[in-house]
Amino acid sequence: MTDRVHVNLFINGRWVKAGNGEKIEIVNPATEEVVATACQAGRVDTEMAIDAAKQAFPVWRSVTPWERSKILRKTASLLGERATEIARRVVLDCGKPITQSLGEVKSAGEIIDWFADEARRIYGEVLPGRNLHNRLHTLYEPIGVAAGFTAFNFPIVLLSRKIAAALAAGCPIICRPAEEGSVCAAELVKCFVDAGIPAGVINLLTGKPEEISDTILASPVVRKISFTGSVPVGQRLIRGAADTVKRVTMELGGHAPVIVHADADPEKVASGAVFAKFRNNGQVCVSPTRFFVHRSHGERFTRALIDATAKLKIGDGNDPEVDIGPLINRRRLEAVEQMVEKTVAEGGFVVFGGKRPEHLKKGFFFEPTIITDITDDMTVMRREPFGPLALITSFSSLEEVVERANAVDYGLASYVFTNSLQFAHQTVSALKAGIVTVNGWSGSLAEMPFGGVKYSGYGREGGSQGIFEYLDVKFFNLNFD
């Protein structure tokens, strides 16, 4: 695989150049070198993709669920066969270490395979009628043309969630990945194409979002929007979707609390927290960030977290021994750097990391960082850092900690550590979050619904619930006399 590649648009079953001839450059965040280019889709290209999806809708919805399932299963198989090549592309374009990139590709395959089954399980209902000659039915039907917009941090998984659910439901989809994930997205689309997806069912538009998203939002043909990204962009998409009354699913980030109760083992929690916190250099929406540690464990937990973090290797993700790669771009690097400076100015104390690594002269690297003396009124406790920052504070009671954990606008993931079943149930019930994990770190599984509350968004992806985001329910009243 050559490093410098070019990605065309994929519209109506063909790879085509953008009508305006414009391109974007994709930079390797570990070397700051341009490693790929992609077409910059414009309004005309987007309208062509919408028309292709519109024409494909009656064709695809008429394909039997068993046949849709077969194509999805074949796609998952191809993704597995090409996992190493695709994972290397994720490293090159997004900086994610190779072991984590391979894990992402595997997870994407599981998601697609899951929806291959869900395609055959779109159950309706039959209820007794109001008289002997009446039956009441509910039917689920594909909503129509969908559009999926994704972030850079999981370029394969995020797009797989949207494509697989839409296709399983019988909906064609128009995809716009983050610029940095353009090549990865193209490789994923190729798997669907080689599995036998009909022309127009998947369309890929790369480039900066303005003309693409505005054209999609204005089109009455597109009936569904699914977005993963920042709160401000999500809010703009929600407002734009209102004029044509589109169905919307939003996953808008998080600021996950970790509650370490008095009966938990602080060293054990810290050893697991290291990977969960610093994978993908903290650029993960479910990343544990706000560590609420019972006051009896503060020093033990902090020391254990420092010791475990010191063992991590930072560098180019192509090295299989590297644990932490770069941040995605210079803007993110500077944002994290400024967040640390502001936190220190507000009274925080950096006990590990806190700066760019001195031995790496190129790339957007930032050390894994642990900050203590954190108070709830600090900016970093209210604003998602989306970087390698672990913030440690203490608490005394269950009532206190859940109130503090809930005191932010986000409500995506949260983590609880306790040996008490009573504490576990009480904490889970009190937390305002779409995902709660007790004594573990897994917040995303193909078979479970993924999504949040409050400013973290609404709607769910994955699980048996995910396919219903792409279906309309119809009440069918049958009278046969």
Cα 265 to chain centroid, rounded: 30
* DSSP annotation string for 311-334: T--BS-TTSTT--B---SSHHHHH
Instruction: Establish whether 251 is a catalytic residue.
Output: yes
- Sign, Cα dihedral of 270, 272, 277, 278: positive
Residue of 110, 180, 211, 251 with catalytic role = 251
| Cβ count near 4 (within 10 Å) | 10
End-to-end CA distance of the chain: 67
Task: Spell out the residues 6+ positions from residue 467 whose beta carbon is closer than 8 angstroms to its own.
Answer: 115, 118, 119, 122, 165, 168, 169
CA distance 248 to 400: 35
CB 174, CB 53: distance < 8 Å: yes
Which residue in this structure is represented by tokens 């480039």? 207
CA distance 166 to 144: 9
Residue 423 has, within 13 A of its CA and on its CB side, a CA count of: 17
Residue of 285, 367, 384, 469 with catalytic role = 285
CA distance 402 to 413: 14
Residues classed as catalytic: 251, 285
